[in-house]
Amino acid sequence: MDLQEYDNNSGGRRIIQVMKLLGLWYYEGSAKMPYLLYSCLLHFTISIPFTIFMAMDVVHATDLEKFTNIMYLTLTELGMVAKLFNVWFYAKLLVDFFETLSGDKYFELREKDERLKWQHAQRTYARIVLFYVFIGLGAMFTGFVGVLFSAKYELPFPYAPPFNWHTPHGYWCAYLYELLAMLITFFANYGFDMIQCYKLLQLSLCFKLICGRLECMGELRSGTAVSRGFSEQQLYRQFVDIVKLHARIKNLSRLCQTYISFPFLIQIMCSSFVLCFSAYRLQKLSILSDPMQFLTFVQVNLIMILEIFLPCYYGNEVIAQSSALNNATYNSEWFRCSPGLRKYLVIYMAMLQRPVRVRAADFFDISLEIFTNTMKNTYSLMALLLNMNN
């Protein structure tokens, strides 16, 4: 099962390619079992053991400083493993989501203005993705290069290898294994987080598409964007298509929530602690004494903030755009319709009273309010940790 390349999915093609490369996609037919074996081999030999080694190092931490230095990345890795099992379980839902967008005729972009707005949003998201990758690889670069200038054996990101790594041969084995594991886990996390945000972006764009079509219902146009009159029959046909499109988008939102719900809940639960521990470690460092490690922690904090902010922002956009459907219906030329057609429009507007919301395990809506609360919790935990240290 593969995706055809359509313009309305252009912003997520690189993400999908990375997920396919890392065994995080879904295939049917003869390729299903070999691909599943490849995925299990990759992650059960590298990603999951690396997370276990990090957790073992947390158990052996003897003081608060070492604990915070290890714990922030260990929680990130544990969250990545939770997302890994989630994508294995719901991989088909992920593929179905994008196949619906690319293969259903109701999602075709009919007007030039629709295509331009859609492409602009896709290009903007592609730039955000590149910024995320740039910051992530920058953090890895400063982390792995910085330890090479240390006078003693020091790993870029602490973990407990199952062998003595305090010898030249053992150190390079531990160093290279961590480099490989960090590359795989970083790009896996990148795929998990960016595909979630991209699905929310697509939902918001779909509702924005409906808004534009609702406002233009019944308008007669002849090759230009300027209205040349009104047709009730055309309004009725367009309204029926919009209702069908709306039903499909609501189904997509259910698929999206099923896929996103659990990993986003885990991410929110871990993010306050991860930000707290990494910020605590950052304020203990000096840019003059250890500039590479300082830059590493600055970039790690920025990545964590992006991981929380982006899904909250796009989830908020889903709520905002679905809430705008009522006004868009009212802004159409409904007053020129017959009483019977007006009743249908009123019934439709009554159905729009509750906007579509993507929720995290039915605990809370994915919105900017959650981002604000998470940052407040991070500040509170940080203050508590500093008081405990004092």
Name the one residue in this structure whose structure tokens are 């203050």.
383
d(CA 9, CA 24): 18
d(CA 316, CA 310): 10
Determine the distance from the C-alpha atom of residue 212 to the mean position of all C-alpha atoms in its chain, rounded to a whole number. Answer: 26
> Hey, what long-range contacts does 338-346 have (CB within 8 A, 24 or more apart)?
338/232, 341/232, 341/235, 341/236, 341/239, 344/239, 345/239
3-state secondary structure of 36: helix
3-state secondary structure of 167: coil
d(CA 219, CA 278): 56
Q: With respect to residue 11, please indicate whether it lies within any of the assigned structural domains.
A: yes
Q: With respect to residue 274, please indicate whether it lies within any of the assigned structural domains.
A: yes
d(CA 229, CA 266): 53
pLDDT at position 204: 92
pLDDT at position 6: 46
Below-50 pLDDT ranges, the chain: 1-6
Q: With respect to residue 1, please indicate whether it lies within any of the assigned structural domains.
A: no
pLDDT at position 4: 40
Q: With respect to residue 2, please indicate whether it lies within any of the assigned structural domains.
A: no
Six token digits for residue 323: 């809430």
- Among 302, 110, 297, 352, smallest CA distance to 213 is for 110
pLDDT in tens, 108-150: 887 888 888 888 888 899 899 999 999 989 988 988 888 888 7
pLDDT at position 1: 41
d(CA 142, CA 305): 19
What dihedral angle (degrees, nearest 10) is formed by the CA atoms of 76, 77, 83, 84? 160
Q: What total number of domains does the chain contain?
A: 1
Name the one residue in this structure whose structure tokens are 């707005």.
117
Q: With respect to residue 355, please indicate whether it lies within any of the assigned structural domains.
A: yes
Q: With respect to residue 175, please indicate whether it lies within any of the assigned structural domains.
A: yes
Beta strands in the chain (DSSP E): 359-360, 364-365
pLDDT at position 316: 92
- Helix %, strand %, coil % for the chain, to 5? 80, 0, 20
Domain range enclosing 351: 7-389
* Distance in Å from the first CA to the final CA of the chain: 57
Q: With respect to residue 52, please indicate whether it lies within any of the assigned structural domains.
A: yes
Q: With respect to residue 343, please indicate whether it lies within any of the assigned structural domains.
A: yes
